[in-house]
Amino acid sequence: MSDIKSISLDKFKSLIEINTRINLSYGDSRALLASILESVMCMVQCEAASLLLVNREDGRLHFSIALGPKGAEVKKIEVDKNSIAGWVAQNKQSVVINDVGSDPRFNSSVQDKTDYISKNMIAFPMCVGDECVGVIELINKASDIPFNDDDLMILELLGKQAAIAYENARKYRSNMFEIDALHNAMNAGRDYHTFIAKSPAVLSILDNIDEASSTNSSVLIIGESGVGKELFAEQVHLRSLRRDKPFVRVSCAALSPALLESELFGHVKGAYTDAVSDVKGRFETADGGTIFLDEIGELPLALQSKLLRVIQERKFERVGSSRTVSVDVRIIAATNRNLEDMVHSGTFRNDLYFRLNVLTLNVPPLRERKEEIEPLCALFLDKFKKETHKNFEGFSESSLSEIYSYSWPGNIRELENTVERACIIGRPPFIQVGDLRLPVKKTESGIQGEIQNCVSEIASSEDVSLKNALNAFKKKYVLKILEENGWNQTAAAKALGIQRTYVSKLISELGIRN
């Protein structure tokens, strides 16, 4: 091995500069490691460089960072443990190979998929403690000259520091998430959920909430099921002048029409068989504060007129009473349904819709606010590791990659359930890909097979008319899209490119059942 004295002054200055950057940068480990790889490529003068992270479950590796002519392509490829990188990870030893094709450890799968020929390479194990977490590879020395010991020494010097920086950044990120969660919890109080805002879309919604904080106008929150509409309702209340007054939650879909009326407006003794005493409703309980009406689209027409009067006059009567009750309440409503379509179909009052729709907050789905995925994962992991009494430190890089690539049709609710399940079946210290149990994406051949099976099934039926064939195919296809979107009709309608009301109509007409 070469001595450090053999390094040129320019390269030595570069090493010092990179070392300084490593010691000062903790927030974004991926950007930091990419910067290190770029610097190593320049110092060693090679065509490509990559960082492969090791999956603890099966020893396979995936490209976390890939620089060079085929960087974008290789990031989609997994590398088997029976490869040069796999050998380096297992044995925790660096290698210099100047004839890659003839090396017995060489696995040609990446080369076959990208048509990029690896002539020579250096591979270095990036270790944290006694564990190899990844492998750094430098590919194809410039001008077709071989790699030498000086090149290996530079990579090892930086690789060891990169491993330390990687671990420091991971701990820093974990600590920052905990601090953010604690800060939010302190601000929100025990009765409110922790609120995480990282994405531009959510921060923009908070700006709108702040602008309307001094008003008493009604707010309508719309968005897919599971996006956290209740949490945004809490923020409307907490950022308003009513923050020290009651915040009352009501699910309009949870009760029958008769019980819902009593729940909202209260009743007097003798109003019905079981009414043995006077009872205040949620509107009276919320007097001076805010009432949150979740799933407002499920409110029966008979109650819609009574709610409209409360919004207009702030007055109502308890069930079984003629005495008028006055309240000072701000109303926040939420729904995952298209209220405009319901107005057109006559199932939702037009005047009530316009009274509610003073300030509309359109909460984006989780797939459009990926900046919040990792903080949410950390929040849920902290919650469920305590409940399961397991000392998880975090998520493996491969599991995070899987989480980011999944579309989350069930949004935050599905993410929370996934983390809970992973904590139950997983083993510390890290959540692995297999613990997530996410739906497997079907291959193109698998989809073609499904279509062929559907055609065969229709052709073998007694009624082979075109009308029956189209209806049979529509039923299977709509059912498939509904299942992929967790039976969220709004999300399914978006995927199908049709109105949500038409999805409901197809479910009814085609006899689709969950």
Element (H, E) at 139: strand 131-141
Residue 166: the pLDDT is 74
226: left (phi over 0), alpha (psi -120 to 50) or beta: left
Range 198-364: architecture per CATH: 3-Layer(aba) Sandwich (3.40)
**CA-based nearest residue to 415, from 401, 442, 436, 395:** 436
Distance CA 20, CA 17 (A): 5
Question: Can you give the pLDDT of all 514 residues of the chain as single tens digits?
Answer: 444 445 555 555 565 565 565 555 555 566 777 878 887 888 888 999 999 888 877 788 888 888 888 887 887 788 888 999 999 999 999 999 999 999 999 999 899 888 899 999 999 998 888 888 889 999 999 888 999 888 888 888 777 877 877 777 666 655 654 554 444 444 433 468 889 988 888 999 998 899 888 889 999 999 999 999 999 999 999 999 999 899 999 998 887 777 888 889 988 887 776 667 888 889 999 999 999 999 999 998 989 999 999 999 999 999 888 899 999 999 999 999 999 999 999 999 999 999 999 999 999 999 999 899 999 999 999 999 999 999 998 998 889 989 998 999 999 999 999 999 999 999 998 999 889 998 865 444 455 556 666 666 766 677 767 777 778 888 888 888 887 777 788 878 878 878 777 888 888 888 887 6
DSSP secondary structure code for residue 254 in this structure: S
- Strand-pair partners of 96: 122
Distances in Å between the alpha carbon of 429 and those of 170, 391, 393, 414? 13, 6, 5, 23
DSSP H helical segments within 134-256, as ranges? 149-188, 200-211, 229-238
Is 375 within 8 Å of 197 (Cβ atoms)?
no
Residue 444: the pLDDT is 46
Residue 186: the pLDDT is 43
The answer to whether the bond into 429 is cis (omega within 30° of 0) is: yes
Strand order from edge to edge, sheet including 247-251: 247-251, 290-294, 330-335, 219-222, 359-362
Question: Other C-beta atoms within 10 Å of 107: how many?
Answer: 17
Residue 153: the pLDDT is 85
Residue 187: the pLDDT is 45
Residue 180: the pLDDT is 47
Question: Other C-beta atoms within 10 Å of 103: how many?
Answer: 15
Residue 7: the pLDDT is 52
Tabulate helix, strand, coil % of the chain (nearest 5): 50, 15, 35
Distance CA 489, CA 500 (A): 6
Residue 177: the pLDDT is 45
SS3 168: helix
**CA-based nearest residue to 278, from 318, 328, 323:** 318
**CA-based nearest residue to 50, from 2, 83, 9:** 83
Please check whether the two domains, 9-171 and 367-436, share a CATH topology: no
Taking the domains of the chain in order of start, what are their residue ranges? 9-171, 198-364, 367-436, 446-510
CATH of domain 367-436: 1.10.8.60
**CA-based nearest residue to 86, from 60, 111, 112, 66:** 60
SS3 202: helix
At what angle are helices 444-459 and 466-484 packed, to 10 degrees?
140
Residue type at position 428: P
What is the C-alpha radius of gyration for the chain, rounded to an integer number of angstroms? 30
Token pair, residue 318, equals 């308890």
Question: Other C-beta atoms within 10 Å of 155: how many?
Answer: 25
What's the predicted TM-score (pTM) here? 0.55
What b/e sequence results for 389-428 when a residue is b if at least 16 CB atoms lie within 10 Å of its CB, and e otherwise? eeebebbbbbbbbbbeebbbbbbbebbbebbeebbeebee
Distance CA 27, CA 45 (A): 28
Is 152 within 8 Å of 122 (Cβ atoms)?
yes
Residue 158: the pLDDT is 78
**Which residue has tokens 């900046």?**
371
* CATH superfamily of the domain spanning 9-171: GAF domain (3.30.450.40)
* Phi/psi of residue 431, nearest 5 degrees: -70, 130
Residue 239: the pLDDT is 92
The vertex-419 CA angle with 417 and 420, nearest 5°, equals: 60
**CA-based nearest residue to 44, from 162, 157, 200:** 157
